Chains A and B, each alone.
Chain A
Amino acid sequence: MAAPGFERVPISEQEASVRAKNFDEVCLGYTEEEAVLEASRCLNCKNPRCVQGCPVNIDIPGFIMALKEQNFKGAYDKISESSALPAVCGRVCPQETQCEALCIRGVKGDAVSIGKLERYTADRAREEGIKPHTDCAPNGHKIAVIGSGPAGLTCAGDLARLGYDVTIFEALHEAGGVLTYGIPEFRLPKDTVVAAEIENVKALGVKIETNVVIGKSVTIDELMEDEGFEAVFIGSGAGLPMFMKIPGENAKGVFSANEYLTRNNLMKAFREDSDTPIFRPAKVAVVGGGNVAMDAARTALRLGAEVTIVYRRSEAELPARVEEVHHAKEEGIKFELLTNPVEILEDDDHNVRAMKCIRMELGEPDASGRRRPVPVEGSEFELETNAVIMALGTSPNPLIASTTEGLDTNKWKCIVASEENGQTSKEGVFAGGDAVTGAATVILAMGAGKAAAKGIDEYIKSKN
């Protein structure tokens, strides 16, 4: 293998034409030799900028140096100090805009492939049965965590390490939140990766009670008053799907990305032995340009459809990770950019038959700083399709806020919480992740869970 240079060590992937027909993971990961070689590209900066780019402040040069020396356990221990979900983050973090964006190697050539090295380290640890340290002395304080997604798992893991007695309450029948219901198998394998990292959190002593809908099965006030929880962390995510409110949206064959992905990922509808059905038509249109849109489109493709992504801005504004857009294109997904749906057209039996769209052009920048798309008059056309998947974003479920006395929300129904320590308007109640920020990323939710764990620890100490 060539000496390390300006370019990163390439990583192998399933070939596009093959993977378009299966749900196995796209990226195959580094081999040991490749990982060590890539690790040797790290300059071990005295003042590592990459760490500043990591929302959970992993000692990146520290783990990479251990990897370079083939000390795989050492590398894993380093990451575990800061993250409970390295095999997840190594796969789904947008490293290119975080740690890798700040890597000094990136000034001239490619940044070190930090994400892929994190993934290698975590996968190797799992395969060799290396576990995070679980020697935490119990301190007897009970903490409730609502939601078992990235924010909740991180908060729970950090608190357990500090000795707290933590119970996570999950509304669905399986833990993991968006890692389980949202992100597809081909990007994040459930049994091997997600379940294994959740087991690691449980090994710290964290209990997970599934099938509990907070606000319905029990309220936060009752958890604190009747069940003895001294503090609560809300990491309930952003679960409510948005629709466009255009004519025809209730036709047969229009789905939220949440529904479509939940059927496939949580309910395993792609498998022959699942009882849960999923709609499998010949043509599918996905509306939106984020990671969820890419996930829905690539899922539909694997279920046998010809797929078109419809996005109202241009390619440069696509919010999805570049890697996901690249993979989607490779697999044969078509993009109708600068295009917006105006109506969904039905046949006589109320099945979707086409989507009426209008071409857009970019005008002046809007509040988000992106150039605002404006319709091109008279440019309407019909896009033939049998199904439409709306991937327009999600907002927090108001259930918890509406059943908790004194918990403030903002006009977007997001819970108001301090960025620094997660403290909400209600004493003893902390929050973080999408429930606070609206739909964002796995790693930002983890960062918020981490900050709140620290906040909760300080709060409990201040009271005792």
Chain B
Amino acid sequence: MYLIKKKRVLHDSIFLMDIVAPRVAKYCQPGQFVIVRIDEMGERVPLTVCDYNREEGTVTIVVQTIGASTLRMKELNEGEYLHDFVGPLGQPSELITDDIEEVKKKKILFVAGGLGTAPVYPQVKWLHEHGIDADVIVGAKNKDLVILEEEMKAVAGNLYITTDDGSYVRKGLVTEVIADLVEKEGKKYDLCVSIGPMIMMKFCTLTTKKYNIPTIVSMNPIMVDGTGMCGACRLTVGDEVKFACIDGPEFDGFKVNFDEAMERMKLYRTEEGRAMLKLKEGDTHHGGCGHCDGGDK
């Protein structure tokens, strides 16, 4: 059992938790993820590490309610427990493992979409702590869905926020911000790290490719064990099949077959939605919810 030391509601559907998990906190690095299970009947939910405190033995996760398990997790409060919390899983970000002097020479742009702000944050923070200030674009549907703004501002070089509906800072997609930075402001970037919904990462790589900016993406496909055992998370990267859980989650964005990855995400969508509806509506739900939207993981 893993204690919820702190909980903060970021939005109606998004919350942050500090979980006491000393083994994970000791080793986790930006870019890695954990798997969480709320209770005996809960799904194994993969979540990217948002922050960690090695001294206190805590790991910070940010969760969006997308299915029955995360909806029940939202109801938990400080002082309560998660049933399971395992990690760190996957490979750390290359920025962390590469030669720091080489990294320092690069001008880096992060592009975060929605909940993707959470996994981008520890990377930007890590760079900041190592004397590297990276530019960060945060995109969200609307003002309420912009998360971790203050935290990000404290560690980013320049922070550019954009919203789909224009309810905050500016209106437009992250790709438009990239284009403006490169074309209007004449910025030059040597590396882009893009984390968010797959559709955003896809269009982000199409844009950065135009400007020849190598781009790393963090893939978040369907997963079960997270240790390479099931192969549910397999992706086509270049001409190879990779497992996001052990080979990733970060990959060369120019090589990832996003269309295939997005199709594979849809497999359980109606079943996820069904489980969520069942929970929300209890006995009043009688199935037939083929149209409900389970949302992106």
Q: Interface 1/0s, chain A 208-229, versus B by CB < 8 A?
A: 0011110011100000000000
Tell me, yes or no, whether A276 is within 8 Å of chain B by CB. Answer: yes
**Interface residue from B41, B230, B275 paired with A268 (Cβ < 8 Å):** B41
Q: Is B197 an interface residue (CB 8 A)?
A: no
Q: With an 8 A cutoff between CB atoms, is A22 at the interface?
A: no
Complex Cα spacing A277 to B228, Å = 19
A171 at the interface (CB under 8 A from B): yes
Contact B68 A250 (CB under 8 A): no
Cα separation A454 to B200 with both chains bound (whole Å) = 56
Residue of A nearest to B259 (CB): A350
Contact, CB under 8 Å: A259 / B37 = no
Contact A239 B86 (CB under 8 A): no
Taking a contact as CB atoms closer than 8 A, the residue among A243, A275, A397 that contacts B227 in the complex is A397
Neighbour of A277 across the interface among B27, B260, B272, CB < 8 A:
B272
What size tier do the contact residues of chain B reach? 35 or more
Chain B stretch 207-231: residues in CB contact (< 8 A) with chain A: 224-225, 227-231
Closest chain A CB from B40 CB (angstroms): 9
Shortest B219–chain A CB gap in Å is: 13
Nearest CB in chain A to that of B32: its residue: A216
B229 to chain A: closest CB distance in Å?
A: 4
Tell me, in angstroms, the Cα distance from A258 to B228 when the chains sit together: 10
The reply to whether A241 and B86 form a contact with Cβ atoms under 8 Å apart is no
Does B202 have its Cβ within 8 Å of any Cβ on chain A?
A: no
Cα distance A211–B87 in the bound complex, in angstroms: 8
**Which B residues touch A263, using CB under 8 A?**
224
Q: Does A44 contact B (CB under 8 A)?
A: no
Contact indicator A241/B231 (Cβ below 8 Å): yes
| Chain B 1-53 interface residues, beta-carbon cutoff 8 Å to A | 23-24, 26-27, 37, 41-44
CA distance A3 to B225 in the complex (A): 52
Answer whether A252 and B227 are a contact pair too, CB < 8 Å, given A212-B86, A243-B241, A277-B272. Answer: no
A145 to chain B, nearest CB (A): 17
Give every chain B residue within 8 A of A267 (Cβ-Cβ): 43-44, 224
| Complex partner residue of B44 from A173, A243, A397, CB under 8 angstroms | A173
What is the bound-complex CA distance between A255 and B68, given in angstroms? 23
Does B84 lie within 8 Å of A173, measured CB to CB? yes
- Residues in A whose Cβ lies below 8 Å from that of B43: 267, 275-276
CB-defined contacts of A273 to chain B, threshold 8 Å: 41
Say whether B23 contacts A218, CB under 8 Å: yes
C-alpha spacing A243/B41, complex, angstroms: 29
Which of A172, A273, A349 has the largest count of B CB atoms less than 10 A from its CB?
Answer: A172
| Shortest CB distance A413–B (Å) | 12
Listed residue (B42, B67, B89, B232) with the most chain A CB atoms within 10 angstroms of its CB: B232
Shortest CB–CB separation between residue A227 and chain B, in angstroms?
A: 11
* Least Cβ–Cβ distance between B1 and chain A, in angstroms: 10
The 8 Å CB contact of A262, one of B67, B87, B229, is: B229
Q: Are B41 and A275 in contact, with the CB atoms below 8 A? A: yes
Residues of B within 8 A of A262 (CB): 224-225, 229-230
Kindly list chain B residues whose C-beta atoms are within 8 Å of the C-beta of A173.
37, 44, 83-84, 86
> With a CB–CB cut-off of 8 A, which chain B residues contact A258?
229-231
Q: List 21 A-B contacts (CB under 8 A).
A: A172-B225, A216-B87, A239-B227, A241-B231, A243-B234, A243-B241, A245-B241, A249-B241, A250-B235, A250-B236, A250-B260, A252-B264, A252-B266, A252-B267, A255-B231, A256-B231, A259-B231, A259-B232, A267-B43, A267-B44, A271-B41
